[in-house]
Structure 1
Amino acid sequence: MRHTTSFRNVLPLALVALMLVGSVGCGADIEENDGETQQGDGAVEVGQLSSKFGAANVLFMGLLDPTKPYAEPLHRNSENVFKDLYNSDVRQVRQAAYLRNISKEDRRIRGVETTKVNVAALRSSAYAGTDLFLMIHLANCDDPTNDCNDIYADDPSIAGDNFKNRFQAIYDAANPLDANTNQRTINVRTWSINEPDLAMPKRPRHAAYFYKAAHEVLSNAENECVGCILVAGELSSPMVKQKRKKNETPKERRKRWWKVRWLHTYLRTLKTLDQEPKEFGFHPYTDVSSVPRNKYKSHRPVDAETFQIHVQKEFPDARFWLTEVGRVLHLEKYKACEKCGWASGWFVRNTLGTMPLVDRVYWWDMATSQCKQGKGDEDFWDSALADHHGRYRAMYYGLMGYSWKEANLRAQGEPGPWIDVRPRTEKPLRRCP
C-alpha cells in the first residue's frame, strides 16, 4: 500500500461557523468578469485540465444493453466526451464495480463482468496510459434477495469477512492471475468503497471493517498489488443539512448533523482497527450544485471543507480526493440555468481544483440518456457534461476554462437548444427535441 505525507490544515472555528451559515442558491446580481478567459488551476491552458482531474462513469460501447432504446447513443456520447477529455490530458478514470453478482434492476449487468469490460476498454491502445480507479458499489445489497446481502450481518467482523471474499473476486477479475506463469497482470491499483454512509446509514462500524478487509486483500503479497491505493471515506453530501428551522429542537439538530456523527464513528473505528488511511474521498455535489450564476467566485465549498476538518481531527496527515463532482441539474431546490451550469464548471476547475490537500478531482458523469425535466423523469440525477444529443453543456466549457462569452460563441450554429434545461420561470416546461 502507498503512503503519503502531508501537513495539518485545521481552519479556525470562527471560519467554520461562517462557512456553515453561508448562503446557497442561484440568482445573485453581481457579475464577475464573465467575458474573461479563466486560466485557473495554475498555468493550465484553456481547453486543458491539470493532471489531478479525472473522469467518472464513462460508459464504453462494450457495456451496451440492447433492451434500452437510448443505450447506443448514450454509450456513444459518453465515450466521445471521454475521448475529448483524454485528448485534453485527462488520464484518471473512476469506474463502478458492483459488489452484487446480479443487479436487481438489470440482470444483464454483473459486477465481475462489468469490471472486465472497463479494464479491457482502458487497457486498449486508444486510451494508453490511463489510471483505472475502481470503486466498489454496495447498491441493493440490503435486499435479502441479492447474494451480497451477507455483508449486512449484525456482527461487523463477520460482515467484513463476507465483504473480503467478494472484494477478492472483483480484484481477481481486474488483476487476473495467469495459471501458466502464476503471475498477475496488475491493471487496477486504486480502489475504494462507494458512499457507505448511504448504503449503511446506521452501520458506520461496518464500513470501517470493509475498509480493513479491502486493505488486507491489497496488502496480501500473493495479490502482488505493490503501490496500491485504497481511498477511505467516499461519503456523499451534504455533510450538514444547511436549512435550519427557526426554533430547532435538539432532535432536529441531531438529524441535520447525522452524517458528521456517522463520520466520527467510522474514523474512530478505523483507528481501533489499526488502520491509517492516507487518502479520503468525498462527493461535494451540494457545493457544486448550489454555485450561484453570478457570485460564483466567492462561493465557498462548505461541504468539502467541513469534511476535511473532521477527518483531520483523527488523521491530521490525510490527503483528499473529490471522487465525484458535478452539478445536479434537475433537483427542484436548485435553479436549472445555462449560466449556473457554466459557473459550476468554473467552480470545480478554479475553486475545488485548487483546494489545499486535494490531490484528485473526478467529474461525474459524461453524457445523459434523455432530456430531463424533473424528479419524475427516469434517472433525474443528472450531472453530465453532454446532453442526450451529445452536445456539450455550459458546464463542460466552464470546466475547461472558457469564459461565459466564449462558451456562448462555441455553441452558435449547433442544432436545437444548446442545453436541455429550462429556467424555473418558464412554464410549462418545454420538452427537448
Structure 2
Amino acid sequence: MSLTTPSTSAPCVTYRAVLGSPHVARLLAGTLTGRLPNAMAPVAIVLWATACGGGIALGGLLSALYGLASSLVQPVKGRLMDRHGQSAVHLPAALLNATLLVALAAIGHHGGPALSTAIVVAAGLTTPPLEAGLRALWPTVLPNPRMRHAALALDTGSQGLLYIVGPLLVAALTAGYNPSCALVVTAALGLIGTAVVALTPPSRSRRPAQAAATDGGPGRRLISLGLVLLFVALAGVGFAIGAMNVWSVALAEQHGQSMLSGIIPAAFSTGSLLGGLVYGRRMWKGTTTSRLITGGAAFLAGWLPLLAVLGPGAATAAVIVPGAFLTVVVACAFLTTDTLAPVGRTSEAYAWLILSIGAGQSTGTALAGRLAEHHLASAALPAAGAAFALTVLLAGRPHLHGAGHLPGPAGTTARPQAEATSPDQQPNTASILVT
C-alpha cells in the first residue's frame, strides 16, 4: 500500500479536535516545555564552561556527558514508571535536575573540572523521561485510534521545534545576561513543564503494572527479536541525523557561511513538523509495518541528493524531505514498539527506542567529525545511516508484527497487533492502529 494514499473510508481528523480533547493540549505543552532543557542544556553548558575559563574542549566534553548520561538512563526510568507510575518518577527527577543545573550556574569560577563534571553527569542522569511518558499516555487519553494517530504525529513532528527554539533562547539569554542565567532558565522551564505533565490526572493515575499484574506483564521478558531489530534500525535513523548536524557545520565552513550550521538543522526540523502535520490529518492505507518501511525508503531517498555535493541553498531545501519522512518513521516505530512490548512495560520499551536513536546519533556525530574534511564522504553519511535502517527493517519485517501482547484472562483487554486485515475496516476503539 502506498503511504501517500489516504484511506477513503477515514475522514480527515482536525488538530483542533485533537487539542480540544481533555488533557491533550496540557500534556503536549507541558512535555514540550519540560523537554526544552534537552535542547538548551548542552548549548548552555558549553557557553558556561567557556565563560568560566574552561575552554571549548571542556565545554564540549561536559555537553557530551550530559547528553550521554541522559540517554543511557532512559530505560531505567521507563521501568520505574511502569512499576511505580509517572508522577513518582517525573517530579523527583525534575527537582533534582533543576537543582543540579542551578548548582552548576552557582559554582561559576569556584568549581574545578572534577566538580563540574560530577554535577553535569548527575544532571544528565536525572532528566525526566517525558517523551516516553507522553507516548505511554496516548492510549488512555485518546481511546479513539484516529485521534491518537493525529496526536502521535503532532507530538513527533513538534519535537523538532525544541532544537530550533532551545538554542536560540540560550543564545538570547547569554547575550542579554550571561550563561549562568541561561542555565537557571533552563532549570526553571524543565521543572515547570514536568510539573504541568506530572500533575495531570492521566499521569497521576497511570499504573500500568497494576493493570497487567494478572497476566504477568511486568515480569515478562521485554526484549524480543522484533524489538531488537526495530531498535537497531532506529539507531541507523539517529546516525543519519547526527551525521547531518556535523555535515552542516562542514558545509558552513566550506562556503564561509556560519549561519548554515544552524539553518540546515532548522530546515530539517521544519520538514519534520510539516510532515507530522500532513501525516497526522488522515488515515493512510496499509499496515503500520508497511508504512514504517515505506517511510524508511522515502527517508533514504531524501538524503540521496546530498551525494551531488549541493550548494548551500539546494542543500537547505533538500534536507526538508528526509525531515518530513522522519516523523512517519518515528511515529510508526512507536506504534510497532507498543504492539511488540509486553503489557505493563511500554514506557520502558519506548525508552529503549529513544536510547537507540540517541546512541545512533552520537555515533553518526563522531564518525562525521572524523570525515568532515572529505566533502563527499561527509555528505554520504546521512544516506548511509538511512540505508542501514531500511535494510534492517526489510530483513526484520516478518518479526515486526504484533506478537508481544497475548490475550489476558477473562475481563482483560488484549493489545492490538501491528497488522490490520483491511484498510477499509473501521478501526476498533481499543486499537491504536491506523488502517
Band of TM-score, shorter chain: under 0.3
> Whose strand proportion is higher, 1 or 2?
1
TM-score normalised by structure 2 residue count: 0.25
> Whose helix proportion is higher, 1 or 2?
2
